[in-house]
Structure 1
Amino acid sequence: MSVIEVGFWHELDQNKIQCDLCPRYCKLADGQRGLCFVRGNEGGRMHLYTYGRSSGFCIDPVEKKPLNHYLPGTPVLSFGTAGCNLTCKFCQNWDMSKAREMDRLADTASPEQLAKYCKTHKCRSVAFTYNDPVIFHEYAEDVAIACHEYQINSIAVSAGYITDIARPRFFEHMDAANIDLKAFSERFYKKLCGASLTPVLDTLLYIHIETSVWFEITTLLIPDENDSNEEIDAMTQWIYNNLGPSIPLHFSAFHPDWKMKNKDRTPASTLTRARDIAMKNGLRYVYTGNVHDTSGSSTYCHNCGLRLIERNWYQLGEWHLKSGCCENCGEPLPGRFEDSHGCWGAHRQPLYLQDRN
């Protein structure tokens, strides 16, 4: 099953329909697909063409999503489909997000099969990642519902580019999320992503105010595009003032890819500088990613300074939490924690759910 009729659309004049799932509001004649390529008009109704299809399955550490305050050390079954509703020139999963030949790329699995695979492989969560789950909303929703029957959590790794209409139903079924805040300027979003900043900020506010979803934020810093002191200062002040001091923020290093191979890699010093600015603005849990930085990737008690969770890449070391609180001073650490961390470690385990001949 790969093609199903879906919602979040309405009829227009001249035999067209409009997609209301993301802020692009694609207007489609019969036979046309949206920019995402996976939703389209078929016979005057909206259809999703990738239901039950994936570009691959892999068991990852939850820290790779990245989520540092959500069941640390536990394994996550990760998968994505194809297509995307953004056009990021720096996309680091472009082979999946820009894929157009799903029959060649896809593995298949029903929501029930995925839930059973998670249970069999002792995954604590399933993660919708690699490309944005917003565009395969219905498949992600059904997988989340099936996984909840087995007490398996659902994680959305998303750019947050979704409409007011679609947000409530999508996040209703998510337990955690990492939202990719790509920059803090409309110029960047328009020039490099073909999108707009405002809907992403609206998504962050919605999750924070209207849901119980645990969420963290990631910003990929690209040299001379979104890494100035001024922009990082403005962004982290907005996060502090609107989302509070306890939202974990990840600054990640860019490497040349897709249509931005002319750019240099992000120096580790840029991530450290951004982290310093964010913490001076009051954010308590700020991390560096895609670089080897044990100090910048570990978690510290904001009250007494004790290192609560040591991270060496995705491998966990010291653990000084008791009932989610600092062992030294008793200060609670925001997030979802258990008495001990998981032992999955840093390795990745690809899964092939169907035979490929």
Structure 2
Amino acid sequence: MTDDDRAAVVVTRLDDVTADLVIAELNERSVPVVRLDPGDFPTAVTLDVYLGAQGPDGRIVTSTRSIDVSRVRSVYWRRPSPYAAPPGVTGGEARWCADQIRYGLGGLLGALPGAHYVNHPWRNRDAEHKPAQLATAARSGLRIPPTLITNDRDRACRFAAEHGPVVYKPLWNTDYVDAEGRHLNIWAAEADPAGITAQLYMAPHLFQKRVDKTSDVRLTAVGGKLFGVRIDGAPGLDWRLHYDRLAYAPIDPPPDVTKAVHAYLDAFGLVFGAFDFGLDQEGRWWFYECNPNGQWAWFPAPITKQITCALADRLQHPGERP
């Protein structure tokens, strides 16, 4: 335990089960913790911060808590709501307000003196781009499948002929609503060359040689600690579509993967990362992607508890590095 009264700030929306677990753990340890959603500004969040020679000084106030910006020990940046204008403000004025909130409140939250970030929001942003992920993974020593990003139909078809079977993956999980108002997701799926049409020109598309895998692995990194989980039982390509059929078992990464994962985190300046791998028939680990803010709370309780405690350790003791 510690007698440090500085707060840990958890930046997230209200409905975030993952953050709830970490907040509950910090409460059990009697660590002062404040939940803050920047999307609540200005309805339920206000700020009054002076910047001078000594750095930021002042407060960000929620409906239930007050944050002294000069006395924040750590920040867990999870899943905040989007920055938005006050209710009733529309058009260009709404865009202007949202930008001022993003660069004002968001800028302050990214500049808290002495705070330890898990992760810093700007490091999250840098690490979200899949082309950068794949390039950095390869430089770090991870094995990546042959990958093509293109909007040229002929090139995509040639890649499929050379490396097939191939998989299509979206470069970003955009919120997508169809004409009937249904929220849809685009998942990883095998790409049939016959189905690649001239409409490919409309946007970049990511095609990747399909790994002949026996299992998937989610490797969750919290600082120097790695929590590997082997995922079996998915009948299709993307295991996220089959949570009710999955089986989980702890797995230790081989030394070369461990070394490369730490190099990857260092390259992006990350403390946390959720890595997805495929295990092939020879037991080799193939890197797919790393979500710098990925989920982990659906794992069985013993695994989830370990990750919860590792994150709480980082937030409670920011000066200690495992």
The reply to whether TM is greater than 0.5 is no
Question: Please, what TM-score do these two structures have when normalized by structure 2?
Answer: 0.29
Considering fraction of residues, name the structure with more helix: 2
Considering fraction of residues, name the structure with more strand: 2
Higher relative contact order (CA 8 A, sep 6+): 2
